[in-house]
Structure 1
Amino acid sequence: MRSSIARTASLLVAFLSVAFLGASGVASAHVRYVVDRGAAVEALRFLVETLSNPFNLFVLGAGAVGLLAALGAYLWVRPLGRDVDAVRGALAGYDDLLPWLFRLSLGLPLVGAGFNGYYFSPLVHAEAFAPAFGDLSGVFVRLFGLAVGFLLLFGLATRLVALVGLAAYLAGVVAFPALLLAFEYVPGFVAIALLGGGRPSADDLIAAVAADERTAYSRVDPVYRRLAVPLGERIEPYTAFVPTVVRVGLGLAFAYLGLVEKLMNPGVALAVVAKYDLTAVVPVGPELWVVGAGLVEILVGVMLVLGLFTRAFSAVAFLLLTTTLFGLPDDPVLAHVSLFGLTSALLITGAGPFSVDGWLHETIAGRRAVAAETD
């Protein structure tokens, strides 16, 4: 009876915590994609005044306590343990689809960027390249997005295209710091470069034909045996770090959005709250909306970087993105596809190496082994 009550209570606390995170998420993601500018607001004074309000402090504190209680209750009670293990096992079974998922996650938004004439992020339009390319700036930006995007979708020369995309993004960040809002492209490109095209892809199809010595193509192919096979063998040991790369990169992206876009630039975030009348959704002050959204994104980012409750906070990140898209109707959907894809990938892979989750798993497994030996 007590065990049943404890499970029910832990599930209730978890539900309330997730509901709080989801409500805050409506003001999350890229606020500068939906408003041009906001009133000049001094960030430090705004934060101090917001946290000096007893009601705001109570709401934020209650949310933090509820979250800690939910995590603690889960570790203590482990409700629906077998169900959770079954879900994890099913998700892990999709690992062969990861290369395809990564290619879709970056290829689709890049094709959209090409058609719409912006460079990775809607904040960097083709006109920004006019000093370098003149009247051809629009052609350059569109061709780049379409070429890299479609090659990724087809899975043709996948690793090379990913490296080209990564170099282009990093060069763009130097010229246009606003591209940091699309930082998730970095772990995405690195993951694709490590995993290759996977299946289905043009690379896999070409490799199958080139590997068959009976085919005419296998006798003239200049890439498969001399380059693709040796390169794949050298990279293979590092593919285990793909979850780590994605987790840390995605965590930094979320933390950056929460800190820089929300807490350090509250004027723009307040403009989003006013534009969509978010105070009517949850009757709290606009300053609490902004601070709450910023803190939630920072929390998600930190937990992903640490690799603590990775799948759970990947699900929270997915929830934040989903509520944002439904709550902000003119938010550019394609600009968030990369975030959706990478969070989905973490649901499949889990934390990977160099994570708190991994350390906890090894510790618990070790203790169970010792207990079994003593019995």
Structure 2
Amino acid sequence: MFEAVGDGVGHVRYVVDGAPTVRAVTFLADVLSDPVNAALVGGGGLAVVLAMVAFLRYRPASADVRALRNSLWGYREFVPWMLRLAVGLPLIGAGFAGYFFSPAVQAPTRVFQVAIGFLLLFGLGTRVVALVGLLAYLASLAVRPELVLASEYVGGFLGILVLGSGRPSADHLLKEVAATEHTVYGRFEPIYPAVERFHGLVKPYEQYAPTLIRVGLGFNFALLGFWEKLANPGHALEVVEKYDLTAVVPVDPGLWVVGAGLTELAVGVFLVVGLFTRATAATAFLVLTTTLFGLPDDPVLAHVTLFGLTSALFVTGGGPLSIDERLGVVLDHSPHRPATE
């Protein structure tokens, strides 16, 4: 039914090897030529659009939504910790598992990645460590393009660079000791004044952390949805067959692939532009959870960063330079108070 033309690249290759790929346009046309499939895809897209329009027009459960946003405002101080966990834990796991950022790139980089991961978890020299990790990833990406599959690390590293370590962290503890009068450490600590000056320079840009996170995360979701499923559906079809996913939701295997691809692509685009960011982050978390339980031998560690970043966005919302900000459906970005509607 499908014509093989090449080989796809994606995280589905972690669980399926050697599957043929199929011509994307032929595949999509074949799937959507079925009236039932076309109705389900079109109906699903229309339902999402109508739900967004209805929310903006009628604001259902507005008091509940406002209470949720105001509560999440109080969690923002923990976002740096969430980012450090989201990036540090999978780096430690990658080091011990023998791959470099992505399971698609096997490399003996245990010491480097474990060191970066532990320092991020401790929150020691956090911004410097995040910069080293980001530069290492970007330099390696130029040599191993398949590392683009782990592009969510860019958003994670940039978020940490902007926000710093937060608390609890070793940086915060050392700062408090250094700033206290008559302490031995404060008397001999050489870099505290320079660090404080740097923090002062970075502080005005802290508000852009959600923007950096959602663009990095959104790009990754859009890439995976488009490239590994819609543009190269062969491996995804093998995943559907291997795990008998049509027994979970009884639809055509091709519709499984198209539906998953369009969902991930839409999640990615919505995150990049900052449209209904919290709802989109919740959808992304659901997609990741489905993957976790639906593909039992999929490497969970490879998705920890995605889980962590989506959780952070659920707390922060879209941030500046987002459609949400223009529509007024996110928190006010004033550093003093949450918005009221």
Same fold, TM exceeding 0.5?
A: yes
2:183 aligns with 215
Structure 1 position 151 matched with structure 2 position 132? no
Q: Note the C-alpha offset of 1:239.
A: 0.6
Matched residue SS, 1:112 = helix
Aligned 8 A contact 1:37 1:271 in 2? no
Residue 38 of structure 1 aligns to which amino acid in structure 2? A
2:282 to 301, 309, 315: 315
Matches within 5 A, 1:268-287: 268-287=235-254
2:72 aligns with 91
Cα RMSD for the two superposed structures: 1.5
1:334 to 301, 307, 328: 301
User: Equivalent pairs: percent with the same residue?
Assistant: 59
2:314 aligns with 347
Structure 1 position 76 matched with structure 2 position 44? no
Structure 1 position 54 matched with structure 2 position 35? yes
1:328-348 superposed Cα distances (whole Å, 9 cap, x missing partner): 111111111100111111111
* TM-score, scaled to structure 1: 0.83
1:228 aligns with 195
Q: Note the C-alpha offset of 1:362.
A: 8.9
Give the direction of change, closer, same or farther, for the CA distance of 1:310–1:362 in structure 2 (3 Å limit): closer
Aligned 8 A contact 2:11 2:104 in 1? no
Structure 1 position 168 matched with structure 2 position 149? no
> Structure 1 stretches (4+) deviating beyond 6 angstroms?
none
Deviates more, 1:69-78 or 1:168-177: 69-78
Q: Note the C-alpha offset of 1:219.
A: 1.5
Greater Cα radius of gyration, structure 1 or 2: 1
1:129 aligns with none
Deviates more, 1:214-223 or 1:98-107: 214-223
Matched residue SS, 2:103 = coil
1:176-235 superposed Cα distances (whole Å, 9 cap, x missing partner): 11111111000100110111111011111111111113111112111111x210100000
* TM-score, scaled to structure 2: 0.92
2:5 aligns with none
Q: Note the C-alpha offset of 1:112.
A: 0.4
Residue 262 of structure 2 aligns to which amino acid in structure 1? L
Deviates more, 1:78-87 or 1:288-297: 78-87
Matches within 5 A, 1:102-121: 102-121=83-102
1:53-89 superposed Cα distances (whole Å, 9 cap, x missing partner): 2221111011111112222222233221111111111
Aligned 8 A contact 1:304 1:313 in 2? yes
Q: Note the C-alpha offset of 1:174.
A: 1.2
Residue 263 of structure 2 aligns to which amino acid in structure 1? V
